[in-house]
Chains A and B, each alone.
Chain A
């Protein structure tokens, strides 16, 4: 499967950080093949692969979920943090398949939702298409120097229906200010 990695090259050039993600997932069936979290490009691209649902001829009858988190410490410099959620999504109903990206700064008890991605309200049954992104905080997000930040990703299908060839991925990029 081609996830378009070549056009993403600019995202990951000379990154000042690599990310180590702690992940968990539920509902993935090992007998159904590839599914769940997949991490590449030093942790700057993290993807959740959804196994096809049984109602569309696939193998997985479950709600599929995942969580992932990663932490960075900025050191002497400040950074612009760019982010994007995208993928291939259900085109039956919106807001069943959902991926959310959050950020939290250590010492500050606020978790900020940056962006979400979901399927589209097209009523097309077992047809998939590009995921729709809803941006709550437009990038870039400024990361202060001498600070620690935690990035969190939540994914769920909410129900076990209408997943065909779907995946959701988060691309992250850091630029020193």
Chain B
């Protein structure tokens, strides 16, 4: 998976959680199971940005 595909995956997770198709716990588990070592970094979609998105999202879900 490349970083742009991962960006889409994270956005889809957020959509599923927002619409009640996934629980907060399921969403957190899916985010924590991302294998960052296997992500190909594409230009214009840095992995560090995605890691910030995931960390912020997990923090929001845990509130």
Contacts and interface: CB of A to CB of B under 8 A. Distances in A.
Q: Is B a genuine binding partner of A?
A: yes
A96 B19 CA distance: 15
Interface in B10-54: 11-12, 14-15, 18-19, 44-45, 49-50, 52-53
A159 B52 CA distance: 8
Given A95-B18, A134-B18, A159-B53, A121 B12 contact: yes
Nearest to B15: A95
B7 A116 contact: no
Interface residues of A, number: 17
Contacts of B56: 158
Interface residues of B, number: 17
Contact of A95 (B14, B44, B50): B14
B8 A121 contact: yes
B49 A94 contact: no
Interface string A47-71: 0000000010000000100000000
Interface of B: 4, 7-8, 11-12, 14-15, 18-19, 44-45, 49-50, 52-53, 56-57
8 contacts: A93-B8, A94-B11, A95-B11, A96-B7, A134-B18, A159-B50, A161-B45, A161-B49
